[in-house]
Amino acid sequence: MTDFLSTGTLPEEYRDLALTVRDFARSVVAPVAAEHDANHTFPYEVVAGMADMGLFGLPFPEEYGGMGGDYFALCLALEELGKVDQSVAITLEAGVSLGAMPIYRFGNDKQKQEWLPQLTSGRNLAAFGLTEPGAGSDAGGTRTTAVADGGEWIINGSKQFITNSGTDITKLVTVTAVTGNTGGKKEISTILVPTDTPGFVAEPAYNKVGWNASDTHPLSFTDVRVPEENLLGERGRGYANFLRILDEGRIAIAALAVGAAQGCVDESVRYAKEREAFGQAIVRNQAISFKIARMEARAHAARTAYYDAAALMLAGKSFKKQASIAKLVASEAAMDNARDATQIFGGYGFMNEYAVARHYRDSKILEIGEGTTEVQLMLIGRELGL
Ligand SMILES: Cc1cc2nc3c(=O)[nH]c(=O)nc-3n(C[C@H](O)[C@H](O)[C@H](O)COP(=O)(O)OP(=O)(O)OC[C@H]3O[C@@H](n4cnc5c(N)ncnc54)[C@H](O)[C@@H]3O)c2cc1C
């Protein structure tokens, strides 16, 4: 099988990184993926392995304990992990692009010195608290409040569906909160909340359709007091700053989704050659080989879309539209490929211990998280002036 990394199109350092992560994904992640999925357990040992490899520090400078790489390097790692276990891939994605990145992008020196080394090392995790029971796609509908009082913020409210927010190594949640009202318009700011602050509670984990080994909780804040200097970035810029983080995050989610789409192709090629029906391998039927060819085309097209968005981002150019396109086509490719792979596996495809069954359950959220399909269409339309 021709593999994209063997085409020689990527510079050597990127290719070597992707191959190293591929090896880790196959030898360390894949063997325990079905078990963590079945037991709904957070894969601490896998996360420790990723931390040892420096994956949580990939796009950050060495002065903050990072690897001095870039966002594209992170995407390549996510693609390789996404092939075998989306839960592990989203744990890394959320830890880096939603957990540590807001502090790197918008934090002051003190905040960066305090938080980044522990996050880039992967010893600890930070979560990104934007979504609320009444504010998802319309994140401006935030109701959580933060009131300035005697040098402190007093935070009250709730967040929901927050990734990496309740693990034993989660030390911080970055939350958006309403800090005022100017001319009838909400002022939304971002505040750092250490998870050991009294009044902060990570409620029991959700029972999800997929991403079972990824940690997701509702959060509640009752008179949570943090120092005034825990404001991240400028007061009133919280919503805008989080939108920038989501633009970048869409490229990372697209990379993860391409991994899922490609993982389904790889599994299907192997299985269709082995499985026999009517006296021959099922791949001998064009109905099957055409299905796999189409799956490969979807994965490849989606890969070029995220490479394009990442290239624009790294070049300092506008990448909003391309990030949304990449997220849109990659999440649909993952879902479509997972459905086709399950069909190719027949009854076995419906058995949870098979990787394609996990992709079938896991891929749906790719069309919902970090901006739904409809939100991507809205953003693309807006960029076209519609
Ligand atoms: C497993 C998981 C992990 C998550 N992790 C995080 C996290 O770490 N941090 C975080 O902040 N959030 C997180 N989320 C939340 C996620 O980003 C939201 O669920 C998502 O943005 C959608 O918001 P919603 O669920 O409120 O749906 P809604 O916004 O209520 O949307 C419902 C439906 O209406 C559609 N819709 C809404 N508005 C429009 C419109 N104008 N036009 C057309 N259609 C529209 C949507 O596309 C969707 O189909 C996570 C969610 C899940 C399930």
123-149 confidence digits (pLDDT tens):
999 999 999 999 999 988 999 999 999
pLDDT at 2: 55
Element (H, E) at 360: helix 355-362
Mutation to probe ligand 1, out of 42, 131, 143, 370 (largest number of atoms < 8 A from CB):
131
CA distance 148 to 155: 9
pLDDT at 3: 76
Confidence of residue 101 (pLDDT cuts 50, 70, 90): very high
Nearest atom within ligand 1 for CA of residue 374: 47
pLDDT at 4: 78
Instruction: Give the pairing of strands 170-182 and 125-129.
Output: parallel
The model's pTM? 0.97
Radius of gyration, CA atoms only, the chain: 21
Please, what sign has the CA dihedral across residues 303, 247, 249, 204?
negative
370 belongs to the catalytic site: yes
pLDDT in tens, 314-356: 999 999 999 999 999 999 999 999 999 999 999 999 999 999 9
Query: Which letter does DSSP use for residue 100 in this model?
Result: I
Which residue among the candidates 93, 114, 370, 383 is catalytic per the annotation? Answer: 370
Mutation to probe ligand 1, out of 368, 373, 378, 380 (largest number of atoms < 8 A from CB):
368
Long-range contacts of 292-295 (CB under 8 A, 24+ apart): 292/265, 292/268, 292/340, 292/344, 294/340, 295/261, 295/264, 295/265, 295/268, 295/336, 295/337, 295/340, 295/341
Q: 163 forms bridges with which residues in the sheet?
A: 216
Q: What is the mean pLDDT of residues 78-95?
A: 98
The 10 Å Cβ neighbour count of residue 297 is 12
Q: What is the mean pLDDT of residues 214-237?
A: 97
279 CA from centroid of ligand 1 (Å): 47
State both tokens at 16.
Answer: 């070597």
8 Rama class: left (phi>0) / alpha (psi -120 to 50) / beta: left
Confidence of residue 366 (pLDDT cuts 50, 70, 90): very high
Between 318 and 6, residue with greater pLDDT? 318
pLDDT of 279 higher than 90: yes
Q: What is the mean pLDDT of residues 148-170?
A: 98
Who's near 323: CB < 8 A, 6+ residues apart?
247, 248, 250, 251, 254, 309, 313
CA distance 326 to 313: 13
Which residue has a Cα nearest atom 24 of ligand 1?
A: 136
pLDDT of 164 higher than 60: yes
**Cβ-based burial of 386 (10 A; exposed 0-12, middle 13-18, buried ≥19):** exposed
CA distance 116 to 108: 11
Ligand 1 pocket, CB under 6 A: 94, 98, 127-131, 136-138, 161-163, 208, 211, 216, 365, 368-372, 374-375
**Residues listed for the chain:** 386
**Cβ-based burial of 339 (10 A; exposed 0-12, middle 13-18, buried ≥19):** middle
Please, what sign has the CA dihedral across residues 296, 89, 164, 54?
negative
177 CA from centroid of ligand 1 (Å): 18
3-state secondary structure at position 90:
helix
DSSP one-letter string for 223-276: EEEEEGGGEESSTT-HHHHHHHHHHHHHHHHHHHHHHHHHHHHHHHHHHHHH-E
CA distance 11 to 72: 12
3-state secondary structure at position 168:
coil
